């Protein structure tokens, strides 16, 4: 074996080690949460209200709250994000305006989430007088993930081969018909990837909901969009830092973390499945 | 009826500062096949794309001159470009079927042009696939994805797709250049068949192909339409030395 080959073997084995380490870290986190959390997981934990100063009972309102916030923020952010991405990629020619919008979108993505929280409180909670509510929280979370949706949708649209657009125009289709009947169906699997990513972010973020929706302790389900809710990430924070009996609440915290991870995981799998089905229908060669 | 299917008057076209077409004057008669030949970058595809205004989609293109199809000025203010593109079908160099079923590919042009009568669409789709000489190969799998077809079949599907909207003129931009010799032969036979009902303008790099399928041949060089005439004349006794050099393979 020559020196050159030896160097190469050492280098790539080192890279392999490093990438395996990354996977290991993920498994360690998952395993740790699972081991600590699975003990408290039972039917009551998933479906009951918290009780005994949050050291017993369940986390049902927090699960419902998080699902509400996911749905609310997506209803708001997904259409707006997709529509502006369509406008930018399919309609707007390279120009100052396009560069400006893109730079601003990227800047929006760089704003720390706690700042979104503060802004959401100022605008939705106070100025628009929504109060601490699902709608204020959803809008704040929606604003936060808009850049993610816009960026991934734009990438998805860009990956659609131009020959398909041209072929559609050549048959007398309008630009809108071309977008809705050819471009979007082809881009859909990748657009859904953006949706998955943003759901992951929305369900995990604590800062944007801190001042806009999250309740410390609210053992009932919301009855409308102007109600406050508990949410899993905030509940986790509360259990760990500011409960009445933190030592006793610790297992509940791990259980909450476990449920949060599972919700994200299940949604990811579900979206992947949809993506695969949508992808099969419009498979390119 | 006007005498000419296509008529081009004094057309100059620029990409930014670069003049891609110089004082083009050209006519094509109905039910004929005209071949555009010439070395790469000579402007033949650019001229082809004028006829269905595909150049509109390219930034920085501007031109002077007039283009008439069936006697109508296609750059007149009241012309609906989408409607023009329905009247002037186009087949591209690389087959570009939509990632939809074979049936939906052909039905697409009808649907986007507002046809919703199911029976009419079905009849038209079958009819067009037959005309494109593809029926025997796909009749049992119309619901299958067009992506499963071979390159040659995809190209004939694209021709069927263009035929379905009943174009008056069909433009073909090197339709066989990405295909194997057998598929190419099928496309050429098809062009010969279609001539009875349609006017066709085909851009090709393949001299033999131009000789085989076309009635008229136009030779382009550096943005100029050097000459155009009956194909036989161009290939046996061209007027211009540049044409002669090109077809005998001395350049290009």
Helix (H, G, I), strand (E, B) or coil at B85: helix
Distance from CA of B99 to the nearest CA of A (A): 5
Q: What is the CA radius of gyration of chain B?
A: 18
Say whether residue B92 is in contact with chain A using an 8 A CB cutoff. yes
> Cβ atoms within 10 A of the Cβ of B25, count?
12
Question: Which chain A residues touch B57 with a CB distance below 8 Å?
Answer: 166, 169
Token output for B213: 């399928």
Say whether residue B59 is in contact with chain A using an 8 A CB cutoff. yes
B114-159 confidence digits (pLDDT tens): 999 999 999 999 999 999 989 999 999 999 999 999 999 999 999 9
Identity of the residue in A163, A167, A284 whose CB atom sits nearest the CB atom of B147: A284
Cross-strand bridge partners of residue B218: B36, B228
Q: Do A164 and B57 touch (CB under 8 A)?
A: no
> Cβ atoms within 10 A of the Cβ of A13, count?
10
Backbone angles phi, psi at A222, to 5 degrees: -70, 150
Count the residues in chain B: 252
- The residues, any chain, with a CB within 8 Å of residue A267's CB and separated by 6 or more, are A70, A196, A199, A200, A203
Identity of the residue in A94, A185, A283 whose CB atom sits nearest the CB atom of B147: A283
The mean pLDDT of B7-13, rounded to a whole number, is 94
Say what the alpha-carbon torsion angle A4, A6, A7, A12 is, to the nearest 10 degrees. 120
> What pLDDT, on the 0 to 100 scale, is given for residue A285?
40
Helix (H, G, I), strand (E, B) or coil at B33: strand
What does the domain layout of chain A look like in residue ranges? 3-39, 43-281
Q: pLDDT truncated to tens, each residue of chain A (285 aa)?
A: 788 999 999 999 999 999 999 999 999 999 999 999 888 888 888 888 887 777 778 899 999 999 999 999 999 999 999 999 999 999 888 888 889 988 998 899 899 999 999 999 999 999 999 999 999 999 999 999 999 999 999 999 999 999 999 999 999 999 999 999 999 999 988 898 888 889 988 998 999 999 998 888 888 888 888 998 999 999 999 888 876 777 788 888 999 999 999 988 888 888 788 778 877 665 544
CA dihedral over A22, A28, A31, A33, signed as positive or negative: negative
Q: Which residues of A65-99 are buried (b: 16+ CB within 10 A; e: fewer)?
A: bbbbbbebbbebbbeebbebbbebbbeeeeeeeee
**Chain B interface mutation, best of A91, A93, A170, A188, highest count of B Cβ atoms under 10 Å:** A170
In a domain? residue B1:
no
> What pLDDT, on the 0 to 100 scale, is given for residue B73?
93
Question: Which chain B residues touch A284 with a CB distance below 8 Å?
Answer: 99, 147
The size of the A-B interface in CB pairs under 8 A is 77
Cross-strand bridge partners of residue B28: B6
In a domain? residue B168:
yes
What's the rounded Cα separation, in Å, for the pair A86 and A75? Answer: 17
Say whether residue B169 is in contact with chain A using an 8 A CB cutoff. no
What's the rounded Cα separation, in Å, for the pair A229 and A221? Answer: 7
Domain assignment of residue B232, given as a range: 6-247
Q: Do A170 and B54 touch (CB under 8 A)?
A: yes
ipTM of the complex: 0.91
Q: Do B98 and A167 touch (CB under 8 A)?
A: yes
What's the rounded Cα separation, in Å, for the pair B109 and A268? Answer: 37
Q: CA triplet B48, B85, B83: central angle to 5 degrees?
A: 150
Q: Do A164 and B98 touch (CB under 8 A)?
A: yes
- The residues, any chain, with a CB within 8 Å of residue A75's CB and separated by 6 or more, are A138
Token output for B210: 């131009």
Backbone angles phi, psi at B62, to 5 degrees: -140, 155
Give the chain A residue whose CA is nearest to the CA of B106: A171
Give the chain A residue whose CA is nearest to the CA of B171: A170
What's the rounded Cα separation, in Å, for the pair A70 and A201? Answer: 9
B192-218 confidence digits (pLDDT tens): 889 888 999 999 988 888 999 999 999
Say whether residue B124 is in contact with chain A using an 8 A CB cutoff. no
Say whether residue B53 is in contact with chain A using an 8 A CB cutoff. no
B150-197 confidence digits (pLDDT tens): 999 999 999 999 999 999 899 999 998 888 888 899 889 999 889 888
- The residues, any chain, with a CB within 8 Å of residue B217's CB and separated by 6 or more, are B34, B35, B37, B210, B228, B229, B230, B231, B234, B235
CA dihedral over B119, B124, B125, B126, signed as positive or negative: positive
Say whether residue B14 is in contact with chain A using an 8 A CB cutoff. no
Q: For residues A145 and A69, is the Cβ–Cβ distance under 8 A?
A: no
Q: What is the CATH number of the domain that holds B200?
A: 3.40.50.300
What's the rounded Cα separation, in Å, for the pair A74 and A195? Answer: 8
Domain count, chain B: 1
Question: Which chain B residues touch A173 with a CB distance below 8 Å?
Answer: 82, 108-109, 112
Q: Do B112 and A170 touch (CB under 8 A)?
A: no
Q: Do B112 and A174 touch (CB under 8 A)?
A: yes
Question: Which chain B residues touch A283 with a CB distance below 8 Å?
Answer: 99, 145, 147
What's the rounded Cα separation, in Å, for the pair A212 and B212? Answer: 74
CATH class of A43-281: mainly alpha
The model carries a pTM of 0.84
Say what the alpha-carbon torsion angle B171, B173, B176, B178 is, to the nearest 10 degrees. -150
């Amino acid at each position: 074996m020559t020196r050159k080959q030896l160097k190469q073997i050492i280098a790539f084995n080192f890279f392999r080690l490093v990438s395996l380490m990354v996977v290991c870290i993920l498994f360690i986190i998952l395993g740790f949460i699972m081991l600590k959390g699975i003990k408290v997981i039972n039917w009551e934990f998933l479906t009951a209200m918290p009780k005994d100063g949050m050291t017993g009972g369940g986390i049902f309102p927090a699960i419902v709250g998080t699902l509400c916030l996911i749905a609310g923020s997506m209803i708001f952010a997904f259409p707006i994000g997709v529509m502006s991405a369509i406008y930018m990629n399919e309609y707007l020619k390279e120009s100052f305006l396009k560069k400006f919008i893109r730079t601003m979108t990227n800047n929006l993505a760089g704003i720390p989430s706690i700042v979104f929280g503060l802004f959401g409180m100022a605008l939705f909670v106070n100025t628009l007088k929504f109060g601490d509510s699902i709608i204020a929280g959803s809008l704040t979370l929606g604003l936060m993930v808009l850049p993610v949706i816009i960026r991934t949708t734009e990438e998805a649209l860009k990956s659609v081969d131009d020959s398909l657009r041209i072929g559609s125009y050549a048959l007398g289709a309008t630009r809108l018909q071309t977008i809705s009947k050819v471009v979007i169906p082809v881009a859909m699997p990748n657009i859904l990837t953006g949706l998955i990513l943003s759901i992951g972010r929305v369900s995990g973020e604590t800062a944007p909901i801190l001042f806009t929706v999250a309740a410390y302790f609210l053992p009932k389900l919301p009855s409308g969009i102007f109600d406050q809710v508990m949410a899993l990430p905030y509940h986790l924070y509360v259990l760990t830092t500011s409960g009445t009996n933190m030592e006793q609440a610790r297992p509940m915290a791990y259980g909450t973390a476990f449920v949060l991870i599972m919700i994200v995981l299940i949604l990811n799998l579900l979206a992947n499945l949809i993506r695969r089905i949508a992808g099969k229908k419009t498979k390119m060669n | 009826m006007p005498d000419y299917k296509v008529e081009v008057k004094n057309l100059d076209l620029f990409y930014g500062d670069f003049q891609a077409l110089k004082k083009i004057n050209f006519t094509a008669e109905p039910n004929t096949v005209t071949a555009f030949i010439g070395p790469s970058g000579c402007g033949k595809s650019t001229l082809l794309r004028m006829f269905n205004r595909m150049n509109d989609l390219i930034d920085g293109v501007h031109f002077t001159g007039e283009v008439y199809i069936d006697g109508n000025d296609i750059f007149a203010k009241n012309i609906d470009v989408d409607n023009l593109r329905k009247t002037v079908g186009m087949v591209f160099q690389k087959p570009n079927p939509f990632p939809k079923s074979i049936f939906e590919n052909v039905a697409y042009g009808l649907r986007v042009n507002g046809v919703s009568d199911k029976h009419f669409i079905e009849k038209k789709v079958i009819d067009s696939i037959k005309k494109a000489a593809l029926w025997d190969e796909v009749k049992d799998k119309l619901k299958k994805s067009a992506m499963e077809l071979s390159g040659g079949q995809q190209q004939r599907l694209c021709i069927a797709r263009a035929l379905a909207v009943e174009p008056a003129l069909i433009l073909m931009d090197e339709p066989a250049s990405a295909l194997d010799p057998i598929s190419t032969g099928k496309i050429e036979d098809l062009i010969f068949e279609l001539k009875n009902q349609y006017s066709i303008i085909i851009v090709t790099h393949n001299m033999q192909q131009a000789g085989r399928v076309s009635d008229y041949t136009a030779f382009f060089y550096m943005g100029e339409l050097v000459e155009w005439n009956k194909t036989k004349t161009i290939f046996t006794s061209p007027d211009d030395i540049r044409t002669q050099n090109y077809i005998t393979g001395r350049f290009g």
